[in-house]
Chains A and B, each alone.
Chain A
Amino acid sequence: MANATMTLIASQVLSSKTTNVTFSSIPQTYTDLKLLLSAQNDDGGAYTDLLFVQLNSDTTSNYSETRIYGFSTTAGSSRTSSSGFLAPRIDSAGGTANVFSCTEFYIPNYTSTSTKQIWSFGVAEQNDTSNAYITADAELYRGTSAITSISLAVNGAYNFSINSSFYLYGIKNS
């Protein structure tokens, strides 16, 4: 029986704020990828902002997602199509100080040369009673090349805050 393994490919903990974090030259030796991040951005005018994710430096309209979300006591769903994934919200500097969101992406069969279905989930907690945000996204990437790079930014071009951390794992059977 094969044993599933999860290996840390690369990680980055920010020592200064930055607009964009890119994992490049991703090895093609795994079956799936898992990306975890604990992040905040420097938008002082909001509690949360959307992540903006692009694959393979592809800036065309190859991305769409359907999401369900809960915000405080409100639940809803929406669909977007853009030049990047508008992925789960992360905490912003305008919310509670020193609070970082938790976000996960699962990218199965990332070496495929067909379209790719991706899943993401994120929680932006605020340590208060009215501004927590939880999101689950079903994402479709229409690009047909194997994924070799993943680029993360904050929608609205804000900076990731210092100490935001990013971990990319590879998953395969040993």
Chain B
Amino acid sequence: MTDETPTKVIVCCADHDHSTDPACEIKAESVVVPLTADEIAANEAAAAQAQADADARAKAQAALDALKASAKAKLVAGQPLTSEEADTLVI
């Protein structure tokens, strides 16, 4: 992310004269407008949630990979597997 003011683009799809039709909310075919403080805050929260979700997925994948590695090592060594390790082998 940068320090530039974030913007959004709104495109009016209505088939009317954008400049004169009272129904046109943006009075143009498209406009670029700065985000409001609420929208910026919502974006920052979304970014934090996206990062948290990505971290959780990475953590879950790492745990699964570790279980699989442990299961493989025990199978090769002829040792009993835990239930969690066995689950990684069952399709």
Please determine whether chains A and B interact with each other in the same assembly. Answer: yes
**CA distance in complex: A9, B15 (Å):** 9
Within 8 A of B (CB), among A91-148: none
CB–CB B11/A10 < 8 A: yes
CB–CB B12/A10 < 8 A: yes
User: Would you give the shortest CB distance from B57 to chain A, in whole angstroms?
Assistant: 9
Within 8 A of A (CB), among B30-81: 30, 32, 35, 43-44, 46-47, 50-51
A35-75 vs B: 1/0 string, CB under 8 Å?
00000001000000010100000000000000000000000
- Cβ-closest chain A residue relative to B57: A78
CB–CB A23/B32 < 8 A: no
**CA distance in complex: A12, B24 (Å):** 18
- Cβ-closest chain B residue relative to A9: B13
- With a CB–CB cut-off of 8 A, which chain A residues contact B35? 19-20
Identify which of B24, B25, B50 contacts A156 (C-beta below 8 A).
B50
- With a CB–CB cut-off of 8 A, which chain A residues contact B32? 16, 18
- Cβ-closest chain B residue relative to A43: B1
- With a CB–CB cut-off of 8 A, which chain B residues contact A9? 13
**CA distance in complex: A12, B11 (Å):** 7
**CA distance in complex: A10, B6 (Å):** 23
- Cβ-closest chain B residue relative to A33: B13
CB–CB A22/B14 < 8 A: no
- With a CB–CB cut-off of 8 A, which chain B residues contact A10? 11-13, 29-30
Interface-central residue, A22, A26, A158, by most chain B CB under 10 Å: A22
CB–CB A21/B7 < 8 A: no
User: Would you give the shortest CB distance from B45 to chain A, in whole angstroms?
Assistant: 9
CB–CB B8/A24 < 8 A: no
- With a CB–CB cut-off of 8 A, which chain A residues contact B91? none
- With a CB–CB cut-off of 8 A, which chain A residues contact B25? 24-25
